[in-house]
Structure 1
Amino acid sequence: MARGVFRSGVLVRAAHTLLTWAVTLVLFLHNTDLRQCEERGELLQPVLFFLLVVLSVVLYFAVSLMDPGFILIDTVKCVHGESEEMEKMLPQASTPRLRRCGYCLLQQPMRAKHCHTCKQCVRRYDHHCPWIENCVGERNHRWFIVYLLVQLLALLWALLIALSGILPSVTWSLWFRVNGFLLAALAVVGVFSVVVVVLLCCHLYLVSVNCTTWEFMSRHRISYLKSCEAEENPFDRGVVCNLWDFFCICRTVIWEQVYHRNNQDTV
């Protein structure tokens, strides 16, 4: 994890953190609901908001520095420790053969992809996120969505707090001078809120149908999806099962077996 701190993403992470605390400081220093609660000695709301911001920053760094599922060994083996290769476990007639990455030369399990930014193959690759400067893959995808949920709560709360501190004035120029910092914070929070809402909705939809961003955007170029019909998803087990598996089952999934089983069910 410490190695990830010194990668090129350090500037992105530092900028995100500084912006988060700058907006938080503005909300606490101006005449907002937070400031009024502090002056009245009612500390519950300020403390809860501060803890929510801290939680969002902690989750941001956790997702940003977490291993998304990098493939580090050449031979794909059974996750239970058996010695035979995956290819020998699977019926080759109905399951596409495992391919070897043309960049790092490692054998890729199904749904894996090489990330040109991270320069490694990632299991159940979703996308490389410039916001966290890390890939979103099998290991950190659920935590990425949890982070988006917490971040959205913090942003919406910050939006209400910023609006509560806007003061009226006799002229427009004076109004802008009095509320300048709050208006800037409001603009930042508003833009981030829209971005997070869009991201969260897209990811929740894709998770509910057991599809990744990469598979959704590049379906026509992916070998194991080319033969499927336009609306067919060989990994979809229904919304409830997809959500349960995604959020509640923390293990490496052998997607070749899921693919083969679902193909058999549709025959």
Structure 2
Amino acid sequence: MMIANICRPQHSPWDQPMDRCFQIFPCLADPGRRSSLCLKLALVTIHVVYAGVLFLFDGDLIEKTKKEPWYTILYLSLFVLTLIQYFATALSSPGYVRDAMMAVNERNVVYRKEPEASNQPASSRNGSFVVSMEGNQMGRNGSGSNATSWSKLVADLYPIGSTIRTWTCTYCNVEQPPRAKHCHDCDKCVLQFDHHCVWLGNCIGQGNHCQFWWYLCEETALCLWTGVLYITYLTAHITRVWWKDAITILLLITLSICLIFLLLLLLFHSYLILTNQTTYELVRRRRIPYLRSIPERVHPFSKGVCRNLYNFCCARNSFYSLEALPISQEIEEKSRPYTCSDVMTCRCC
């Protein structure tokens, strides 16, 4: 009997409450979702603590709010807007390959039922989303019909001679267009995969990279403004109450570290946007088969600074863009050094 009790698995007193919690909230049964939710709660708590300590300690800020309420209203508006942008980015779709593939397949079904003329032979519509193919690879493999299968679309984006094995995902078995990658955290293939953000609990890809950049902008501005308010408080009230000074200095040091990290991250992603790159392509360039033979300083998908900015900010809200790999002539053109005439003719734009 004693041996049976020893071998019997021990139950934690938390098991029964946790089981009830999982029954009420089934999504919490997934450890990954629990971790993501905890990180979101931690980030919101950090924001509330920084703002709360500021208004709790700084009596001058309260007096200034009474005299000039617009200043505090602007700060709190940025505070709320940053949190809204955070959750909007965390809940947004990065642009999954399966969604684009389903859009193409649904378009093909509609085309078979009701043929219609189109000037874009390699495009597909799914509700408000459009799947379009960019680059001069059109017709490389002879595509010329309105109803274009996903396999044909993807094949037209790669050089002639590439086999289907080179672009088929070994995990979810979908045919990946260039720049797509399988995310092991989300267990899905993402279009123009940039990275998986742990703090957001979401992938950053073609569908939400712009939202992510705006979140970085707002978070950086909020941290900078909060840091200025903390420094103003310390300058006016230093050496009055030692424990308040200690807490404020500790929070300010942590805030400064976060601000430096955010500034570097914002500058890094701004550079990626201007050159039409992703973090994955920049860091793992030598591991991506179709980028190995391209010189390091050449950005194969860049269309010029102005066009890159336009595509990033304005042209990615209503369609999935599938970019073809550049041909050798384009690579040679982009490898050519800039001259004074190039600068005058705005070649970089």
**Which of the five TM-score ranges fits, normalised by the shorter chain?**
0.7 to 0.9
Q: Which residue, out of 46, 54, 57, partners 2:80? A: 54
Do the aligned partners of 2:294 and 2:331 also contact (CA within 8 Å) in 1? no
Q: Which residue, out of 296, 302, 306, partners 1:230? A: 296
- Counterparts of 2:257 and 2:74 in 1: how far apart (Å)? 23
The equivalent residue for 2:192 is 124
The equivalent residue for 1:64 is 90
Q: Which residue, out of 212, 216, 219, partners 1:144? A: 212
Identity across matched positions, percent? 29
* Structure 1 residue 101 corresponds to structure 2 residue 101: no
1:137-194 Cα offsets, whole Å, 9 max, x none, are 011101100011111111110001011111222xxxx754131332233123212111
1:80-102 Cα offsets, whole Å, 9 max, x none, are 24333314545742878661111
The equivalent residue for 1:255 is 323
Q: Which moves more between the two structures, 154-163 or 84-93? A: 84-93
TM-score by length of 2: 0.67
TM-score by length of 1: 0.87
Letter in 1 for 2:238: P
* SS class of match (1:204): helix
Do the aligned partners of 2:154 and 2:177 also contact (CA within 8 Å) in 1? no
1:235-260 Cα offsets, whole Å, 9 max, x none, are 0111121112111212311212xx24
* Structure 1 residue 177 corresponds to structure 2 residue 243: yes
Q: Which moves more between the two structures, 4-13 or 23-32? A: 4-13
Q: Number of residue pairs matched?
A: 258
* Structure 1 residue 165 corresponds to structure 2 residue 192: no
Larger Rg belongs to: 2
Letter in 1 for 2:252: L
- Counterparts of 1:24 and 1:96 in 2: how far apart (Å)? 56
Do the aligned partners of 2:157 and 2:177 also contact (CA within 8 Å) in 1? no
Q: Which residue, out of 51, 57, 66, partners 1:30? A: 57
- Counterparts of 2:79 and 2:154 in 1: how far apart (Å)? 46
Do the aligned partners of 1:26 and 1:185 also contact (CA within 8 Å) in 2? no
TM-aligned CA deviation for residue 123 of structure 1: 0.5
Do the aligned partners of 2:277 and 2:301 also contact (CA within 8 Å) in 1? yes
Do the aligned partners of 2:275 and 2:302 also contact (CA within 8 Å) in 1? yes
- Distance change in 2, residues 1:245/1:95 (3 Å): farther
1:106-125 Cα offsets, whole Å, 9 max, x none, are 11111010111111111100
Do the aligned partners of 1:69 and 1:138 also contact (CA within 8 Å) in 2? yes
Q: Which residue, out of 36, 40, 56, partners 1:9? A: 36
Do the aligned partners of 1:96 and 1:223 also contact (CA within 8 Å) in 2? no
TM-aligned CA deviation for residue 263 of structure 1: 4.0
* Structure 1 residue 83 corresponds to structure 2 residue 148: yes
Q: Which residue, out of 210, 221, 232, partners 1:153? A: 221
Q: Which moves more between the two structures, 174-183 or 42-51? A: 174-183
- Distance change in 2, residues 1:207/1:252 (3 Å): same
- Counterparts of 2:246 and 2:93 in 1: how far apart (Å)? 41
Letter in 2 for 1:58: I
- Distance change in 2, residues 1:87/1:48 (3 Å): closer
TM-aligned CA deviation for residue 63 of structure 1: 0.8
Gapped regions of structure 2 (runs ≥ 5): 1-24, 105-121, 126-146, 333-349
Do the aligned partners of 1:100 and 1:108 also contact (CA within 8 Å) in 2? yes
- Distance change in 2, residues 1:101/1:27 (3 Å): same
- Distance change in 2, residues 1:160/1:74 (3 Å): closer
* Structure 1 residue 21 corresponds to structure 2 residue 48: yes
Do the aligned partners of 1:33 and 1:164 also contact (CA within 8 Å) in 2? no
Gapped regions of structure 1 (runs ≥ 5): none
- Counterparts of 1:223 and 1:4 in 2: how far apart (Å)? 38
- Counterparts of 2:243 and 2:158 in 1: how far apart (Å)? 70
- Counterparts of 1:154 and 1:20 in 2: how far apart (Å)? 10
Tell me the C-alpha RMSD between the 2 structures.
Answer: 2.6
* SS class of match (2:98): coil
- Distance change in 2, residues 1:236/1:54 (3 Å): same
TM-aligned CA deviation for residue 130 of structure 1: 1.4
